[in-house]
Amino acid sequence: MQVEATSTVRFGRTSIPYGIRRSPRRKTVSVAVDPEDGVLLTAPVGVSVERLDRVVKDRAPWILGKLHQTEASEPRPAPREFVSGESFLYLGRQYRLRVVPRKHPGPAKLSAGWLAVEVERGLKASRRASAVRDGLVAWYWARAEQKLPERVQAWAHAAGGKRIGDIIIADQRRRWASCDSAGNLRFNWRIAQAPLRLVDYVVVHELAHLRHRDHTPAFWRALEEAQSDYGVRRRSLRGLGPGLEW
C-alpha cells in the first residue's frame, strides 16, 4: 500500500511530517513510526487530513519518543582516525587516503586513484590527524563549491520560476542544506561525499522549498513532480548520512 498524501503537524518547535495510507478495511486510525519511512498513518477511506493532523498532535509525545529511539538505535560508524588506508567517499566513489609528510605541505588532491593529503613532517599523531582532517575539509569544500552550482542549474526548473539567490557552502551539522526567503541556498560541504543522485535530491528538496517554505502536501507534490523517486533517494541518504559526518 503506497503513501497517498502527506501532512505536517507543529508540536512546540518541532515539525512532524507524516504520510497517509488509506484502506477500506480499516475502521480506526493507526499510527506507526518506521525506521525508513518515518511517521505513517493508516486511516479509513474518507477520514479528513484535518482529523489526522489532530491524531498526530494528540500522539506527538509518543511519536517523538519513538523517533528518538530509532535514531539512538542506529549503529554509528567508527570514529575516523585520518590515517593512510582509510576510505573516503567523493560523489559516491571510494578513495583511499594517503597521508604524505612534507616540509612544505600543499593542498589535498586526487592522485593516481588516491586522495592524497600533505601534512607537515614531524607532527605528533594527534596534530597530524587534525591537519589531515583540515586538509580533507578544504578539499571537499572546494569540490562542493564547484559541483553544487552545476547541480542547481541542472534542476533549476524545480524552483518553479522562483528566484534562486546565492549558492553558499557551509558547515551545517546534521543538516544537508537550507534556504532563506531571499532565495539563497546553503549546502553542507559533506554532501559532496554522497552519490550524485543523492546530491541531486538535496538540491531539488531546497529548490522546492523556494516555492513552499514548509513541508506541506503542496511541497511534497512539487518535489515528486520534479523527482518522482525522491522517496527512494531520501531513504538512501538517511542510511548513508551517519557515515558522512566527521
Cα–Cα distance, 246 to 190 (Å, whole number):
9
Amino acid identity at 70: T
Contact 169, 66 (CB under 8 A): no
Cα–Cα distance, 149 to 134 (Å, whole number):
23
Residues above pLDDT 90, as percent of the chain: 70
Cα–Cα distance, 79 to 246 (Å, whole number):
8
When mean pLDDT is compared across 70-74, 160-164, 173-177, the lowest value belongs to 70-74
pTM of the complete model: 0.73
Which pLDDT score is estimated for 118?
97
User: By C-alpha distance, which of 154, 142, 143 is closest to 204?
Assistant: 154
Contact 210, 157 (CB under 8 A): no
User: By C-alpha distance, which of 246, 155, 160 is closest to 202?
Assistant: 155
Which pLDDT score is estimated for 196?
97
Which pLDDT score is estimated for 2?
53
Contact 115, 96 (CB under 8 A): yes
